[in-house]
Amino acid sequence: MNPRLNKKVVIVTGAADGIGQAIAELFCQEGALVCVADVNEALGVKVAAELVAKGGKAIFVKTDVANIESVQNMVKITVETLGKPNILINNAGIIYQNNSPLNTTQAQWDKSFNVNLDGMWHCCKEVLPFMQAAGEGSIVNIGSVHSFKIVPNHFPYAVTKHAIIGLTKNLAVEFGEHNIRVNALCPGMVETPAAFRWFEESGDPVAARKALGDIHPLRRNAACKEIAYPALFLASDESSFMTGQSMIVDGGRSVVYHL
């Protein structure tokens, strides 16, 4: 069987850890040439080296998506090393736990928008000209169940995640005529290494994990790979008539009114 992303050049932001790492790994397995773009140099170098050791073609470029010059540098290195980007996975994102609106500092508000929203736009802005010239491209913006519903005390995460749905729809409409598709992928609770650290810190990791899992009709949280496969579908030609959409992958969490 042919690999599903044969020689496609893919940028995955926030790929040094969690969901982004799983996407980078799956995409490499499917024949993509992957740029691991992350602000965490130590982890990013390690992840890219592991991908190469497993037979993948990958590079790491230290990138702060909140900084447009840093994104421009990352795209330049990607083009020079791997080729012109065909696919962008806008995955880098941050969340503040236990944050009520009036306790949110201006710095937290600014950082949330700089990384979660500006970061996605910076990357789109830099790859879109290449996609336009090629007459094709696929962009996947990682949203969340917080893109549609509000979970109290995570302010302003949901505000930023709602906003990226607007960015997704707007770019889908503007760039559809160039055969560039822009979709959002919206996970429920995903068990990243950070989530496991958070379970540990709670004092009762088994109970903490179960409590979160029980919110979902499937009675468990997602594994990172369960988000990477839908990302592969949205990135690849298998979803060639889909654009401007939000795919919710949340174990049924968003359809529950009251359990």
Asked if 38 touches ligand NAD (CB under 6 A), the answer is yes
Closest alpha carbon to 143 in 227, 70, 256: 227
Footprint of ligand NAD on 96-115 (CB under 6 A): 115
Residue closer to ligand NAD by CB (options 57, 62) is: 62
Residue 34 CB, shortest distance to ligand NAD, in Å, is 14
Residue 194 CB, shortest distance to ligand NAD, in Å, is 4
Residue closer to ligand NAD by CB (options 26, 142) is: 142
Residue 157 CB, shortest distance to ligand NAD, in Å, is 7
CA distance linking residue 108 with residue 7, whole number of Å: 39
Residue closer to ligand NAD by CB (options 14, 230) is: 14
Tally of CB atoms within 10 A around 67: 17
Q: Could you say which of 138, 192, 239, 243 contacts ligand NAD (CB under 6 A)?
A: 192
Q: Map 74-140 to HEC letters.
A: HHHHHHHHCCCCCEEEECCCCCCCCECHHHCCHHHHHHHHHHHHHHHHHHHHHHHHHHHHHCCEEEE
* 229 among known catalytic residues: no
The HSE-up count of residue 206 (CA atoms within 13 Å, CB side) is 0
Asked if 215 touches ligand NAD (CB under 6 A), the answer is no
Residue closer to ligand NAD by CB (options 17, 30) is: 17
Asked if 18 touches ligand NAD (CB under 6 A), the answer is yes
Asked if 63 touches ligand NAD (CB under 6 A), the answer is yes
Residue 78-97 contact track with ligand NAD, rule CB under 6 A, x = bound: -------------xxxxx--
Asked if 118 touches ligand NAD (CB under 6 A), the answer is no
DSSP for 14-76 reads TTTSHHHHHHHHHHHHTT-EEEEEES-HHHHHHHHHHHHHTT-EEEEEE--TT-HHHHHHHHH
Helix (H, G, I), strand (E, B) or coil at 3: coil
Helix (H, G, I), strand (E, B) or coil at 247: strand
Residue closer to ligand NAD by CB (options 48, 142) is: 142
Residues whose CB is less than 8 angstroms from the CB of residue 107 and which lie 6 or more positions away in sequence, other chains included: none
Active site residue ranges = 157
By the criterion CB under 6 A, which residues form the site for ligand NAD? 13-14, 16-20, 38-40, 63-66, 91-95, 115, 119, 142, 144, 187, 189-190, 192, 194-195
